[in-house]
Amino acid sequence: MEQTKSLIKEVLGVVVISLIVVIPIRMYIAQPFVVSGQSMDKTLANGNYLIIDEVSYKFQNPERGEVIVFRVPEEALAISNYSLDKKMFFIKRIIGLPGETVEIDGDSVKIFNEKNPKGITLNEPYAFVDKLSPYFKDIKKKIVLKSDEYFVMGDNRHNSSDSRFWGPLKKENIKGKTFLRLFPFNKISITPGAYSDYQF
């Protein structure tokens, strides 16, 4: 009987300690996220299971090429006729940084900043373009980003609701960046999708 009580106490102790450790991590450090949809093909596919790093951006600013999860802004909800109170999250790639100007000409993306006042066209090896969607080829926009704004796009350029349609993303909406892909098992990787070789 005493052995049983001792075992129960041990089990309860492990459970309590696990909860004390796991719950704060889940709430403030890392969150699971399942990719839904095709906007990040071929980088991240529908059903990919990710762990999102929620801590890094408390100490450093988001960088171009990072893949982030963010709360969908009201402008994007309105376009899809959702209630503005609806809580949804998207996953996209950061293309433009605060203070920059982003010019979209079909599938071409040009960045203007202090270092490149005449603009530089991004080399984007991760971008997937489905030639069967001609509408996207006609998009022409030039957007100036404020000090707290980012320009985000899906890698599947002809199948993504992103900053081309609903405008810049506020930093306050960003939840975190991709840290780990756990599923599918044959594609387990750290910082999946991140890219930094823009040669600015």
User: pLDDT of 128-146, one tens digit each?
Assistant: 998 767 778 889 999 999 9
From the list 42, 83, 92, 115, the catalytic residue is 92
Note down the domain range covering 87.
Answer: 32-190
From the list 6, 9, 39, 115, the catalytic residue is 39
Q: Specify whether 39 is catalytic.
A: yes
Identify whether 166 is part of a domain: yes
Q: Specify whether 92 is catalytic.
A: yes
* Total of domains in the chain: 1
State what percent of residues in the chain have pLDDT above 70.
84
Identify whether 72 is part of a domain: yes
Q: How high does pLDDT run on average in the chain?
A: 87
pTM: 0.84
Domain with residue 143: its CATH number is: 2.10.109.10
φ, ψ of residue 191 to 5 degrees: the values are 45, 55
Identify whether 43 is part of a domain: yes
Specify the pLDDT at position 1.
58
